[in-house]
Amino acid sequence: MTLHQPTQRSQERLHARLDAGADVTLVRGPVASGKTTLVAAWARTRRDHGQRVLWLDGEVPPEIREGRGAGAGGGPAIVVLDDADRVRDLDALDALLEVLDAAGTRLVVISRRHHPVIDRLPSRGATLAVIDERELRVDAADLREAAWGWGELLTDDEAEELVADTAGWIGLARAVAGRLSGDAARLAGLSFVHTQAFPADPETMGHAMLFALAEHVTVDIARVVVDSVSAASPSGRVDESLASLVSAGFLRPQGGAGPAAWRFPPLIGEVLAEAGRRHFAAHLDTLHSAAARSLLPHAAHDDEALVAAVRHASSAADDDLLGRLWVEHWPALTRRLSARVVPSFVERTRGLGSADAGVRLAASVLSALQNPVTGPRSYEQLGWSAPAPTAAPASATDALVVSSAVIAHRRGYAYEEALRLCRRLDDRAHPPLATTAAAAWLRLQRGLTEASHSDPEGVPRLESVAAAPLAGAEFIAAIAAASAAAARAIRGETAQTRELLRRLDELDSDHGPYGDLVRYPADVARALLRFDRLDPSPAGVLDHRALSRTAFDEWPLLLPTRTRQALLFGSPAVMIGEVSRLRASAPPTLPPQGRIRRLLDRTFADLLLALGEVNRARRFFDESVAPSVVLSVPRARMAAIVGDHVGVHAEATGFGWSAELSPRDRAELAAILAGSAWAAGDHALAGESFARAGGLAGEIATLVPFAGMRRDAFDALSVEYPVVLAAEDVQRVRAVREVYPREGALVTLSPRETAVLRAIDEHARLADAAAALSVSVNTVKKQVAAVYAKLGVNDRQAALAAARREGLLADA
């Protein structure tokens, strides 16, 4: 009979295997894998060398059945049984094996799987060689030559891509060659599966389609997905199909920490899955749900299993399971896998007003992660605060949803409401879905909220989170450590700051999209430590962060740091403009006694004094509602500038008991008192206070209090008491400019003078001002003359300008 014409390059290595001389060679592989092409090319070569070749197409002819091998007579021969799966008659197989009795006769069997004829060889003592599916796969060079025979010219890159997509399955490669992109390749591959591969072996291909729908295939998952469609399929047959596809190289090993798992190459998997969606349409939800649940034990330590579980849960419309996957595995989903899973979550929220709260939160956060962000990321930019339910009882059972609500409230400065939610969750039994990572995230958000609200429990809570990093969620501990370090550094608690930064360095540095939430407070803490040593080098790290564009959860840290930089090395005039804009734009919901308002008041007062604006500072102190202890340092400094030594002493000693007075503030008050006492001639108190300042500053490793002293007092006291500071530290202080003016004058107006000044500001004519005050014009003239004298001016416009400059009038 006519031999099949080869369309594939003769593969010398496989031809050598066929030439090796075994009595029987089994060439085994799936449909269209090049079995027949390979053997046909080899058989033609043998025939050209004078050997007799008998080619049988799927049946044993009568002459062999009846003649017991006579058909192969006439000398040594090669008998090829193609499509051997069709031959199951044992008598016919025995008759076929009789041909081996002839000297030199060899049998080649071409089959899609293990064939019964092989089981009958041992009784005859025949030798066997097997060429399996893996050896039949073509490489890029083979494919290029084969494609040339089909009339397709492939580049090296195209051939490599096609081999990767089809696992070297030459039949599928031929079906899609020339259609390397778009729907054409998928449709061609689908047609190939339906017209050739699927009808050839319905059971194995049915299993293959189910495996492709499962994507991430293990032995257990293979059984589960088949059982979800038909419980009648025996597990042994499923295992056989799986082993066959794996050995053929169509299912490839997939990395991961879970059990042995495989995945189809892209094009094969897509084609089989498309066929599966059509063939098993009535069972898809059941299949996907079963596959997702079978992956749950492996999702915690295998990213591929987690991604597959999310996709299956979404495909099954199983919002409960999808929400559970988010709550249990959100650290991995947001840090490493957001791009791969965001469609699965977002799809479930489209048009579903009642979607699971966890699914809606996940979709919000993961979608936000896909958006490009310039500058530091905040929680808002990460999407955490977007869907925040606040009071619904159901939301309080989910730690992550409550966390998001806490973030939203903190963003709106509703600290009490945020902490109320936290306390409410504390009062309930922890819900089963509040995993360790979710609980740690909630504790982090609570600690940040408490710290922002000047709650003394905030920083210790952050430190407790930082002390217990969780595998896979180290970024939570890192955010806590960095935030606590910044808070400690602002208070001047240097030893605790250094310890927290050391702990931060020990944590995993790959924090993914949360990296800015770690780097930003860590930068602040490290900058403040350097500023404490009067080192200007961190200035460049902070210059690019404008307060007006910095996120709500970041600028309270940046505000005191940038102010410290401006006072020591930069421009207080520029900085006070930034602070003034912040104060003017502060939302009405900002708590008047909260940390942010206190920071605004303290930094504004420090900057006013650095600019010598003692009158404006005094008016600011009079109008401020901040607790006195918050402004004790600038009050003492103003008293020192205007020569009020008694006032300095009162401020410096009046709050020694207060826990709100930070170590840095205590050192600064002692240094201010030392400078004031020296200027007043009380050298004993000056020396005592200077030594006390040195001790307090030494405990927290800072020189800033001495940089804030009047320079003449510092120079004299550092010489008179050389043991207080090392010579190197003295030189560091002297190298910095004098931060505050040594002297200043307060303009003190009587209540009547103040009333007249405000009246002439509102009325251009003295008569109108007198009428507004219900006094005579002469009385107004006398008071105006007294005001002009105190301001050192001669007319109304100059008086008003001077009054505003001195802070006696509000800015126009």
Is 663 in the same domain as 769?
no
Which of 173-187, 410-424, 490-504, 747-761 reaches the highest mean pLDDT? 490-504
Look at residue 748 in the predicted model and tell me its pLDDT: 72
**CA proximity to 630, closest of 664, 666, 602:** 602
Domains contained in the chain, number: 5
**CA proximity to 241, closest of 203, 197, 196:** 203
Is 699 in the same domain as 772?
no
Is 294 in the same domain as 207?
yes
| Calpha distance 142→160 (Å, rounded) | 11
In a domain, 199, yes or no: yes
Extract the tokens encoding 35: 């079995």
Out of 4-8, 460-464, 634-638, least confident range: 4-8
What's the one-letter identity of residue 625? V
Which domain, by its residues, includes 422? 393-589
Is 535 in the same domain as 614?
no
Look at residue 353 in the predicted model and tell me its pLDDT: 54
| Calpha distance 617→391 (Å, rounded) | 43
Extract the tokens encoding 344: 């699965």
Query: Beta partners for 79?
Result: 54, 107
| Calpha distance 572→567 (Å, rounded) | 6
Last residue of one domain, picked from the residues 253, 286, 317: 317
| Calpha distance 603→611 (Å, rounded) | 12
In a domain, 355, yes or no: no
| Calpha distance 597→664 (Å, rounded) | 19
Distances in Å between the Cα of 228 and the Cα atoms of 244, 260, 280 are 21, 21, 11
Last residue of one domain, picked from the residues 136, 164, 194: 136
Is 516 in the same domain as 493?
yes
Last residue of one domain, picked from the residues 136, 167, 199: 136
**Which 8-state DSSP code applies to residue 217?**
B
| Calpha distance 643→361 (Å, rounded) | 59
Is 730 in the same domain as 758?
no
**Which 8-state DSSP code applies to residue 348?**
H
Is 209 in the same domain as 273?
yes
**Which 8-state DSSP code applies to residue 789?**
H
| Calpha distance 161→266 (Å, rounded) | 10
CATH of the domain at 73: 3.40.50.300
In a domain, 348, yes or no: no
459 and 492 Cβ atoms separated by less than 8 Å: no
Is 604 in the same domain as 584?
no
| Calpha distance 120→236 (Å, rounded) | 23
331 and 471 Cβ atoms separated by less than 8 Å: no
In a domain, 169, yes or no: no
Question: Coil, strand or helix: which one is 25?
Answer: strand
| Calpha distance 307→611 (Å, rounded) | 59
DSSP states of 246-271: HHTTSSEE---SSS--EE--HHHHHH
**CA proximity to 68, closest of 38, 100, 106, 36:** 100
486 and 525 Cβ atoms separated by less than 8 Å: yes
Is 431 in the same domain as 571?
yes
Q: pLDDT (tens digit, 9 = 90+) per residue, 586-620?
A: 777 777 777 888 888 999 999 999 999 888 888 88
| Calpha distance 690→788 (Å, rounded) | 41
Out of 40-49, 251-260, 716-725, 732-741, least confident range: 251-260
In a domain, 164, yes or no: no
Please count the CA atoms within 13 angstroms of the CA of 120 that sit on its side-chain side. 15
When pLDDT is averaged across residues 737-759 and rounded to a whole number, the result is: 82
In a domain, 687, yes or no: yes
- Number of other CB atoms surrounding residue 537 within 10 Å: 11
Q: pLDDT (tens digit, 9 = 90+) per residue, 27-44?
A: 887 777 788 888 988 899
740 pLDDT higher than 70: yes
Look at residue 2 in the predicted model and tell me its pLDDT: 40
CATH of the domain at 546: 1.25.40
Q: pLDDT (tens digit, 9 = 90+) per residue, 200-259?
A: 556 777 888 888 888 878 888 888 888 877 654 555 678 878 877 776 667 777 765 556
CATH of the domain at 797: 1.10.10.10
Nearest-10 crossing angle of helices 515-532, 555-568: 30
% the chain with pLDDT above 90:
21
When pLDDT is averaged across residues 513-523 and rounded to a whole number, the result is: 87
Q: pLDDT (tens digit, 9 = 90+) per residue, 680-689?
A: 999 999 999 9
Query: Beta partners for 82?
Result: 57
Confidence of residue 438 (pLDDT cuts 50, 70, 90): confident
Q: pLDDT (tens digit, 9 = 90+) per residue, 442-453?
A: 899 999 999 888
Confidence of residue 627 (pLDDT cuts 50, 70, 90): confident
Is 550 in the same domain as 460?
yes
Is 57 in the same domain as 205?
no
Give ∠ CA 417-418-420 in degrees, rounded to 5.
Answer: 60
Is 24 in the same domain as 69?
yes
In a domain, 325, yes or no: no
The phi and psi torsions of 236 (rounded to 5 degrees) equal: -60, -40
